[in-house]
């Protein structure tokens, strides 16, 4: 009766057989020692703690994800309110004819409400009239891909764009 021959080693098995196996403990022994001794452990004085900032302006932010309007159209409106006080921005948005203004107005009101809520939790005072739009960005959201009928039985793609609205309101630093 014929004896079975052992299977040939593949290239991957051959290369694995040639390399010595390393363990974590061997790797730890071979690495250079780390700096464990600090200035305080050597007997020297430690560095003083960093100085605290006296005034920290409060910020609040709000997002709207996947607003069903193209980012290009939304950016036309958001560029008008960036850097303005909240009251000016809300006035601008209230009388704008663009549909994007309604969406952005909702997000701005939400950011102001978030600022009020944070101030209430910290038991601090907050003057809403002092808030301004510090950061206002429109990012591109998902693109919904749809198909519409075309001539001769074909279909052409429609891309329905969405936008992510991000608004950050903050108190103006004193003296500005």
What domains sit in the chain, N to C, each tagged with a CATH number? 59-171 (3.90.470.10)
Which of 56-60, 72-76, 131-135 is the least confident region?
56-60
Look up the pTM and report it.
0.64
CB 165 within 8 A of CB 69: no
* Per-residue model confidence as pLDDT tens digits over 1-14: 566 666 666 655 55
């Amino acid at each position: 009766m014929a004896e079975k021959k052992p299977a040939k080693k593949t290239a991957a098995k051959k290369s694995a057989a040639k390399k010595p196996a390393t363990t974590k403990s061997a790797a730890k022994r071979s690495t250079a020692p780390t700096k464990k001794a600090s200035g305080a452990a050597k007997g020297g004085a430690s560095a003083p703690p960093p100085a605290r900032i006296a005034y920290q302006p409060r910020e609040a932010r709000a997002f709207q994800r996947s607003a069903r309007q193209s980012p290009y159209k939304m950016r036309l409106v958001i560029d008008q309110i960036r850097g303005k006080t909240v009251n000016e921005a809300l006035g601008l948005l209230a009388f704008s004819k663009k549909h994007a203004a309604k969406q952005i107005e909702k997000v701005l009101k939400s950011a102001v409400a978030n600022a009020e809520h944070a101030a209430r939790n910290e038991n601090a005072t907050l003057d809403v009239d002092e808030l301004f739009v510090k950061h206002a960005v429109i990012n591109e959201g998902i693109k919904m891909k749809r198909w519409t009928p075309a001539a001769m039985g074909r279909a052409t793609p429609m891309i329905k764009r969405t936008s992510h609205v991000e608004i950050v309101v903050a108190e103006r630093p004193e003296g500005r």
